[in-house]
Amino acid sequence: MELYDDLYKKWAELKGLDWKLLKAVAQHESSENPNAIGKAGEIGLCQIMPALAAAYGIKKEDLFIPDYNLEVASTFLKDLFDKYPEASM
C-alpha cells in the first residue's frame, strides 16, 4: 500500500467519494508531496489555498499535514458535487 492510501480512503469514505479521486488530485497537484508550495501560494498534497482552508476551519500551517490537507480537499470536492450533482460520479 502506498504512503497516503489509508488517508485517501479515510476521507473518501467520510465524504462519500471515491478514494482514487483524492489520490488522483494529489498526484496531479503535487506528485503526492505534502510539502509542496505552488506559485500562487497553494499548499500540500492537494495544493489547497489558505483562504479555502480557513473557510473550513483549518489553519494555513496545518495544510502541510496530509490529514488536514485531505480533509479540506475532500470537503471541498463533496461540497462541489452537492452543488453540481450532474458532475458527480
Average pLDDT per 10 consecutive residues for the chain, totaling 89 residues: 92 98 98 98 98 98 98 98 86
Give catalytic residue positions: 29
| Predicted local confidence at residue 88, as pLDDT | 72
Residue 89 three-state SS: coil
Alpha carbon 55 to chain centroid, angstroms: 14
Dihedral of the alpha carbons of 33, 34, 37, 43, in degrees to the nearest 10:
130
Copy the grid coordinates of residue 39. Answer: 506559485
Instruction: Say what angle helices 19-30 and 66-83 make with each other, to 10 degrees.
Output: 110
pTM for the model: 0.94
State how far the Cα of 25 lies from the Cα of 61, in Å rounded to an integer.
20
| Predicted local confidence at residue 47, as pLDDT | 98
Q: What are phi and psi of 40, to 5 degrees?
A: -95, 5
